[in-house]
């Protein structure tokens, strides 16, 4: 016959271990993979901008390219932290390099809401959508 105290202790330990190991798996699965191509159009102080972002996400690192009418440049300092995504675009513009920093929130597997700071002179918000 099984000792009741032993049985209750065994059950509570099993539940505790299951919760400890299952919750991190749920958190990891909740953040969609942003690898792929996203496009957007938004208004700026210098007119409407059309962008295509090609992202490659691996663990917490983000690489890829940002392409606009002005240039196609490599994404630098890309990071993913849960649903937060950040990177820098160093865009050549009229003989200078503009440092554009991006902070985004992964809304779903197909949408990222971004805020960008253009060299401290302008701020823009937009949503980039996955190309299918």
- Quote the pLDDT of residue 113: 98
Q: How many CB atoms lie within 10 A of CB 102?
A: 22
- What digits encode the pLDDT tens for the residues 1-22? 556 565 445 555 555 555 555 5
User: 108 and 48: one domain?
Assistant: yes
Rounded to whole angstroms, the Cα distance separating 30 from 43 reads 31
85: domain CATH number? Answer: 2.40.128
**pLDDT at residue 26, rounded to an integer:** 47
Q: What distance in Å separates the CA atoms of residue 68 and residue 45, rounded to the nearest whole number?
A: 15
What's the whole-model pTM score? 0.76
10 and 72 share a domain? no
Q: Percentage of residues in the chain with pLDDT exceeding 70? A: 77
d(CA 130, CA 117): 22
Residues 41 and 16 in one domain: no
Q: Domain of 64?
A: 36-130
- Asked if 89 and 121 sit in the same domain, the reply is yes
- Distance, in Å, from the CA atom of 102 to the CA atom of 90, rounded to the nearest integer, reads 11
In this structure, are 92 and 66 located in the same domain? yes
Averaged pLDDT score across all residues of the chain: 85
Residues 41 and 100 in one domain: yes
Q: Are residue 13 and residue 51 in the same domain, yes or no? A: no
Asked if 98 and 123 sit in the same domain, the reply is yes
Burial of 16 (0-12, 13-18, 19+ CB in 10 A): exposed
Length reported for the chain: 132
Number of domains in the chain: 2
What's the pLDDT tens digit per position in 21-61?
555 544 445 578 999 999 999 999 889 999 999 999 999 99
């Amino acid at each position: 016959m099984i000792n009741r105290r032993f049985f209750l202790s065994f059950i509570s330990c099993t539940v505790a271990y299951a919760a400890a190991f299952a919750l991190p798996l749920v958190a990891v699965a909740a953040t969609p993979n942003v690898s792929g191509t996203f496009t957007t159009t938004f208004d700026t102080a210098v007119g409407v901008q059309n962008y295509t972002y090609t992202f490659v996400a691996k663990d917490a690192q983000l690489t890829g390219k940002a392409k606009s009418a002005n240039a196609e440049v490599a994404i630098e300092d890309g990071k993913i932290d849960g649903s937060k995504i950040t990177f820098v675009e160093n865009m050549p513009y009229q003989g200078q390099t503009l440092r554009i920093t991006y902070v985004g929130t992964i809304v779903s597997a197909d949408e990222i809401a971004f805020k960008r700071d253009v060299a401290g002179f302008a701020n823009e918000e937009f949503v980039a959508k996955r190309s299918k």
